[in-house]
Structure 1
Amino acid sequence: MKKNIKVFALIGVLFLAQSCGTKTDKSSEETKVEVTPTETVNLSSIEQRRAFIKKDSAMIAEKRMKAWNEMYAKTPTYTNPTGTVIYRKAEVNPVFVGGDRAMRKFLRDNIVYPEQAEKDELEGAVFVDFVVGVDGTVSNIEVTDATSADVDQAFRTEAVRVVGSMPKWTPGRQNDKPVNVKYSIPITFQII
């Protein structure tokens, strides 16, 4: 079975938002996902699961962008626990060297599909937040949202590992000086 990891770079910088709490009921052979307290979606086929992941990713991205815009409107920066000022958006945002296409290629070439997740035919998407520093290094990496509460932990671990292995970016700039900028990308794990 050929493995493929789909990577989608969101336009702009996304702010850490509260996760959409979806739950899975594994009491039957078919996977059922609770979308709202009263609605359950039957995800017995690969196509249904993928459609759900795509729809849920879009919904999470929309919620995150809305929350980010609200936070940015209040203040364009925040200070992390070590006292470092981090921009939610800079005049010039950081760029992966070579652009989005090069970043997607890097992730495609370097992500290793988790073995057990592949055996279990698990798929899902995670949102990885990180800071691009003044020197272009990636730090403060964390998975903040996923397409469902039961997204395999191996997906989260692998996404953090590969983002942490990224080469230096072109840093963001504010008033023509390099600055620390928060950035986020969704990574979709899909078996083909």
Structure 2
Amino acid sequence: MPWIPFQGPLKLIASYNGAWVDIVTMILGLIAGITLTLFSFHESLETSVYYDKVILKIRDDEIILKKKDISFVFMDKKQLVLLGHDKKELFRCKQELNKSRVGAVFIKHHYLWGDTDPFKKDFKTWVVDSPDLSPAANALLKSRKIAIEKGNDEEAFQLAQELWKLRVSVKEKDKRQYYR
């Protein structure tokens, strides 16, 4: 199978005989599996919903939002979105759980939940130096575009956080950014 990576080391391991080869490959597979699992958990959004706040953890970031600051919660495809009272995003990030399960938790804690983005039609495609955005927002979107193109999700998320502080909602699809 020529498409499998690491052909050389695999052929070397396969050339040895004996029970110890099975044990060593099993241990290496176990270590690789544990490493992949830990990495997946580190990269996944952890959401804790309380009656007075929501705690969102991803990678090394922890965001705490008070319930009094949250006006509406919904899922935009696989992304969890929390809006402030000015209808701008406070938070947006991919959530691995299904929509109905996430919605049930927020409803249980008396958050206003919706099935769709009420402002979906308000998003515009971002182009460099969009005239209806501040120079700071345009600069952040420019940097975020580069991060997205490089596949640097962590940097793209941090730049989105800065945009949220400027009250700019942002999302991407097919490496293009949309804002409102």
TM-score by length of 1: 0.27
The higher relative CO (CA closer than 8 Å, separation ≥ 6) is in 1
More helix by share: 2
> Greater strand percent: which structure?
1
Between structure 1 and structure 2, the one with the greater Rg is 2
